[in-house]
Structure 1
C-alpha cells in the first residue's frame, strides 16, 4: 500500500509513448510535425503566444499574411506547455508542500539533511560542467549562445529516476528513498529556477498581487472560516458542507485567477497554480513522497490529486508528443553540453556534496547505505528528461539550439545504463521490499 511503483509507472508510460511518437514523426516529416505543433487554434487578446513572434516564425507555413489587431494566438504547444502543464507542476508542488509542512514530512528534520545537501551538489555540478564545456571546449561564441540554458542539466526526472533506482538497488534499499528525497528537492529548486530565471515576458511583479489575493481569499473563505465556525462542534457541519457541496471548485477558480496573474506578471504561467496548492485542506499525516497510500486519504488536497491523476497522465503524453519531436540532425554542441552536465556533473556533484554532508558535516547516511551508493544515486539522478525538456523549451527560442538542447535531455536516458554499470562495479546489492 505504501509503494510508489504504480504511481510513477503510470506517469511514465504515456510520456515515453508520446516522446517516441514525436521523435518518429519529426524524423519522417519534420515540416508536418511543426505544422501540427504550432497550428493556430485561437487568435485572441487574452492568452497565448505573442502574435508578432508567431507571425514572424510560423505564419508563412499556414499561408497567413495578416490577422488584424490581435495580440495573442493559442497553439497546441502553448496550450500544453503553458496551460495544461500547470496541473503537472501543481502535483509536484503538492508533494513538495507536504514534504515540508507536515510533521513527518520527508524533507523535515535530520533525515533530509544529507539528501538536501547532495541536491545542492547535484545542481551546481551540472551547471559548472555545462558552462565550462561551452566556454573552454566550444569557445566563447558558443558559450554566449548556450549560456541561457545553464539550468537544463540541473533537472532530475522523478518518475524515471525512481524506476531505474528500483532496478539498480531493489525496492527495499535505503538508497531508493534517499533518491526520492533528492529528486523532490531537485524539483522544488527547479520550480524556483523557472520562476526567477526564466520569465515568459516583461516582468510586472505587481500583477502577482492578484495571485496572492486569490490564494488568501480562497483559503480564508473555504478553508479557515468553515473550520473556525465549526470550532467545538464535532459534527463539523459547515466544513462538511463546503467539502461535499463545493469540493475543489473554489480552488480551481482561484487557480484560474492565479494562472492569469502569472501570465501577466511575466512569470511562466505553468507555475500559476502553485500559490493555490497550500490553501487546500490537507491531512496531518505524511505517508511519503508520491505514496500510493495517499489515495485512501479523504482530505481535499489528496482527493484533488487523485482526480488529477489520469488527466495528468494524458497531459504528460501530450507534453512528450509536442516537445520531443526533434530531428537527429539537430545534434550539436548544446546536445553534448547538456548531456555532459547531466552524466558527469550530476553524479560528481551529488557524490562530492553527499560525502561532505555525511562525513565532514557529520550528518550521516541512512542505515544500510554506503558512500559508494552516492555515486550510483548521482548516475540515476542524471536522467533529466521531463523537466529538462521543459526548461529547454523556455530557455531557448524555437530553432536549432533549442532542438539540440532537447536532444541532450532525451539522450539523458543513457544515465540508466550508466547507473546499472556503476552499480555493478561498486558492488550494489539489491534489496527486496
Structure 2
C-alpha cells in the first residue's frame, strides 16, 4: 500500500511523541515518589485564578490537542485514509468493537455501583503511545497495518470525544451554550465566505472556549468544533486548515501531551497501592483495555469482512489485526482524561490512573512482543525462500 506524504509526516510525529510520552511518564512517577514528592505534586495543584495548573492543562491546553485531532479527522475524511468507504470501513468497525466490548466488560463488573460512570475509561486508545510502540518494530511493519492502527486510533478519539460530550456533561447553562453555538455559526459563515485568515477563527475559538467552559459542556469539545469551521478548501498547502495542522503538530506532540502526562501521572504510590487494584473499577479498566480492546477490535473487524461490508487489505492478516488490537489497549492520555471527568473522589481517580498505567504497560508489552514475533517469523520465511531460489 502506498502511503500519502501527509500520513507519513503524521506517523513520524506521533512516533517521536510516543517515545517522549514514555520518558516523561516515567520521570513524573519517579519525581512523585522521590524526596521532592510534596513539592512536585504541590506544584501541579497550585492555583492560578480559580483553577489549578493541572486544570488549566486539562481544560485549556488539551483543547488545542482536540483542535489538532479535529483537523486530522477532517483531512482523513476529505482526502486521506478515511476518504473512501472501502478504506474507512475496516478501521471504523474495528474501532466500534474496540469501544463497545471494553465498555461492556467494565459495566458487567461495575453496573449499579458508584463507579459505573467510568465505563468510558477503557474505550480509549492513545494514538501517540500506540504508534510509538509500533514504530519500534521498524520497517518490518506492513503499510496497511500502520494505516489501520492510525485510522483506528483517530476514529477511537472521535468516539471518545462523543462519549465525553454526551455522557460526561453534568449540568448545562443553556444561555452560555447558545452563545458558544452562535459564535460557531458566525465562524461557519466566515468559512462559507471563504475567509482564509486564521486570526478571526482563533479569536472566535478562544471566546467560544470560554462560553463552552462556563456552559457545563467540557471545554475541550471546542477544539473539534473549531477544526470543522476552519476552511479546508481542498486541503492544499496554502489553505488555513493545512497551515494550522502542520503548525500544531510539534507543539502538541512535544509540549502539550508531555505536559499533560507530567501533570496527570504525578501519582504518589503508597505501600497499599495494590489494594486499589482489587476494586471492581480498577479490574474493569484492566480487563477492558487488556482483553476487551483486542477481542472487540478483532471480532468486529472479522464480522464486517465476513458479511462483506469491507475487505482485508492484501498485506494485512488477521494476526496483524490482533496485534493492532493489543496496542489499542494502550489507553493512557484519553483514558486518564475520561477518569478525571468520570470521578470526583481523589482516591478513586488515583487507583484508576494506576490501573490505566498497568493496563497500558501490559497492552504495549504484549502487543510489541506478539507483533515482533509474527513479523520476525515473516522475515525468516522470506530469507528461506531466497535461499531456495539461489
Query: Given the superposition, is the C-alpha separation of residues 390 and 216 from structure 1 closer, same or farther in structure 2, using an over 3 Å criterion?
Result: same
**TM-score, scaled to structure 1:** 0.77
Residue in 2 aligned with 1:8? 14
Q: Does 1:18 align with 2:49?
A: no
RMSD, aligned CA:
2.5
Superposed displacement of residue 404, structure 1: 0.9
**Pairing partner for 1:31 from 19, 26, 38:** 38
Residue in 1 aligned with 2:388? none
Alignment of 1:229-378 (within 5 A): 243=196, 247-285=197-235, 297-312=237-252, 313-329=254-270, 330-331=273-274, 332=276, 333=279, 334-378=281-325
Query: Given the superposition, is the C-alpha separation of residues 24 and 344 from structure 1 closer, same or farther in structure 2, using an over 3 Å criterion?
Result: same
Q: Does 1:98 align with 2:75?
A: yes
Residue in 2 aligned with 1:77? 54
For 1:150, what is the secondary structure of its paired residue?
A: helix
Which structure 2 residue ranges, 5 or more long, are not aligned? 381-390
Greater C-alpha radius of gyration: 1
In the alignment, the residues of structure 2 paired with residue 425 and residue 314 of structure 1 have an alpha-carbon distance, to the nearest angstrom, of 34
Does the CA contact (< 8 Å) of 2:142 and 2:316 recur in 1? no
For 2:378, what is the secondary structure of its paired residue?
A: coil
In the alignment, the residues of structure 1 paired with residue 268 and residue 199 of structure 2 have an alpha-carbon distance, to the nearest angstrom, of 42
Superposed displacement of residue 375, structure 1: 1.3
Superposed displacement of residue 387, structure 1: 0.7
Quick check: 117-126 or 212-221, which moved more? 212-221
Which structure 1 residue ranges, 5 or more long, are not aligned? 43-72, 136-142, 228-238, 286-293
**TM-score, scaled to structure 2:** 0.85
Aligned length: 364
- CA offsets per residue over residues 128-169 of structure 1, 9 Å max, x none? 22233446xxxxxxx613211111111011112122234458
Quick check: 260-269 or 2-11, which moved more? 2-11
Q: Does 1:404 align with 2:351?
A: yes
Query: Given the superposition, is the C-alpha separation of residues 300 and 430 from structure 1 closer, same or farther in structure 2, using an over 3 Å criterion?
Result: farther
Superposed displacement of residue 277, structure 1: 1.3
In the alignment, the residues of structure 2 paired with residue 170 and residue 161 of structure 1 have an alpha-carbon distance, to the nearest angstrom, of 16
Superposed displacement of residue 349, structure 1: 0.6
Query: Given the superposition, is the C-alpha separation of residues 430 and 152 from structure 1 closer, same or farther in structure 2, using an over 3 Å criterion?
Result: farther
Residue in 1 aligned with 2:387? none
In the alignment, the residues of structure 1 paired with residue 233 and residue 354 of structure 2 have an alpha-carbon distance, to the nearest angstrom, of 41
Residue in 1 aligned with 2:127? 158
For 1:418, what is the secondary structure of its paired residue?
A: helix
**Pairing partner for 1:429 from 378, 381, 386:** 378
Residue in 2 aligned with 1:178? 148
